[in-house]
Amino acid sequence: MSGSPPAWLKAGQRHLWRPYTQMQTAPPPLPAVSTHGTRIRLADGRELVDGIASWWTACHGYNHPHITAALERQARAMPHVMLGGLAHEPAVTLARRLAALLPGDLDHVFFSDSGSVAVEVALKMALQFWINAGRPERRRFVAFRDAYHGDTMGAMSVCDPDEGMHHLFHGHLPEQIIVDLPRSPAALADFEALLAGRRDEIAGVIIEPLVQGAGGMKFHDAETLAAVRRAAAAHDVLFIADEVFTGFGRTRHLFACQAADATPDILCIGKALTGGAVGLAATVATRRVYEAFLSEDPEKALMHGPTYMGNPLACAAANASLDLFETEPRVDQAAAMEAVLADGLEPCRGLPGVVDVRAKGAIGVVQLAEMRQLDWLRTRFVEEGVWLRPFGDIVYMTPALVASEDDLATLTGAVVGVLTEWADL
C-alpha cells in the first residue's frame, strides 16, 4: 500500500455502509478516482488491471467512447422521464432490439433497475400467469442448489438455502423447492418425477443457464440445461432463465440458453446490459406469457412499475452497448479467452489446497479446498497490480471481453504467483 487516503475518504468513510462487509473488521476500501479500458486508477496514482469488470458489468472495458458519447447526448436531451403514460425512443428502441436479439418469441420487455428486481418481476409474472389462468395454487418455484438470483426477498427464496448469503432469513422467505441440478440420467429421472408429482403446485423452474455465478462459478453442460428445459415443457411448468450474469457473451454464447436451444418462457438480463455504465435490467416474456395478461379486466395487468424503469440514460447506454456487440467481435473474444484463461491458470492445479481449475468463455476459476486468509489474498492481489475479489471457496476472474493478452497474462500470472505463496502460509 502506498500514499495516505484522500481527505474525502477519511471524512466520510464511516458513513458509507458497504456491501457484504463486516464494517467492524474490514480493511478500509481502496479510493478509486477514474477508470479507462481494463484499468481502475486509485487516488495515489496506482492503476489496477480489473479482473472482474466491476461485478461482470463492464464487458467493453470502462469508459468506452461510443457509450460515453451516447450518455452525453442523452444527458443533454432528457436524463429521465417516467414511463407511466409516456414512452421515449431509447426504451422503445432498446425493447425492439432486445426482442430481435433474443431467441424464439421472447418479444415483450419489462425494464427495471437491477438484476434482483428483474428476478422479482419474473417470479411475480410467473405467479400471476397462473392466477390469470385460474390456477392460483401453482405458486412454488423449483430452484437449484448453488443458485444465486439476487438479494431481495423473492430472489433470496430461490437462492441456495445453505450456502450463499441468505441462510439467516430462512423462516422469513416463501418456501420453494430446492434440488440438485440433474446432471445424470438417474438424477434427471428424479427431477422429472418431482415435476410430474407436484406440477399442480409449481409455477416455474428458475435456472442460471450454464454457469451458476455468485454461488461459486459452477458450470453445467448444455445437455443438462436442455434436459431441464425439456422437463419443464413436458410438465407445463414455466422455465425462467436468469441470464443476469451469463448474458451478453460471458459464456461464449451471446445468451447461454442458446447453447442448448433452451428458449425460456421468461428471461432476466442485467449486469452487462449497459456495458457497465448505468444500472438497468429487464425481464423478457414470450408471447404466450404476455398474452396471459391481456384482458378487459384491469386486475389481469402486470402490477409492477419501478420509478426509474427504462431510465433514458441507461437505455441509451444499453443501445450503444448493443451497437458494439454488432460491430465488434465480442462473443468471439469471449470464446478465445477460454483457452487463454485455462492455460494461464493451469499451474494452480498442482498447488496444495487447490481442488479444481476451470474456464468457460470469459470466466476462469481456481477452486480451493477451503477459503483461508481471504483479506491477505485480496491485499496481495492489489499489491500485484490486479483487482480480484475471491469469495466463497474460489479465486475467479471475469475480465472485460476486450481484455488484451497482456492483461490476461498479468491477471493469471498474479493468481498463480499469489496462490503459490498462499499454499505455503
Site residues (vs ligand PLP, CB under 6 A): 114-116, 119, 148-150, 208, 213-214, 242, 244-245, 270-271
Shortest Cβ 270–ligand PLP spacing (Å):
5
Shortest Cβ 394–ligand PLP spacing (Å):
14
Beta bridge partners of 218: 212
The residues assigned a catalytic role are: 20, 148, 242, 271
State the Rg of the chain over Cα: 22
Nearer to ligand PLP, 16 or 355 (CB): 16
- d(CA 345, CA 336) in angstroms, rounded, equals 15
Shortest Cβ 241–ligand PLP spacing (Å):
10
Three-class SS of residue 327? Answer: helix
Q: Which residues contact 234 (CB under 8 A, 6 or more apart)?
A: 192, 195
| Exposure string for 312-347, b = 16+ CB within 10 A, e = fewer | bbbbbbbbbbbebbeeeebbebbbebbebbbebbeb
Shortest Cβ 162–ligand PLP spacing (Å):
18
Nearer to ligand PLP, 270 or 364 (CB): 270
| Exposure string for 44-66, b = 16+ CB within 10 A, e = fewer | eeebbbbbbbbbbbbbbbbebeb
Q: List phi, psi (to 5°) of 73.
A: -60, -45
Nearer to ligand PLP, 309 or 414 (CB): 309
Q: Which residues contact 105 (CB under 8 A, 6 or more apart)?
A: 286, 287, 288
Among residues 247, 203, 222, 260, the alpha carbon closest in space to that of 102 is found at 247
- d(CA 306, CA 304) in angstroms, rounded, equals 7
Shortest Cβ 157–ligand PLP spacing (Å):
13
Nearer to ligand PLP, 161 or 213 (CB): 213
Q: Which residues contact 333 (CB under 8 A, 6 or more apart)?
A: 249, 362, 401, 402
Nearest residue to ligand PLP by CB is: 115
Q: Would you say 113 and 281 are in contact if contact means Cβ atoms under 8 Å apart?
A: yes
What is 134-175 written as a DSSP string?
T-TT--EEEEETT----SSHHHHHTS-SSSTT-GGGGGGS--
- d(CA 3, CA 205) in angstroms, rounded, equals 51
Shortest Cβ 232–ligand PLP spacing (Å):
18
Nearer to ligand PLP, 109 or 348 (CB): 109
Nearer to ligand PLP, 204 or 344 (CB): 204
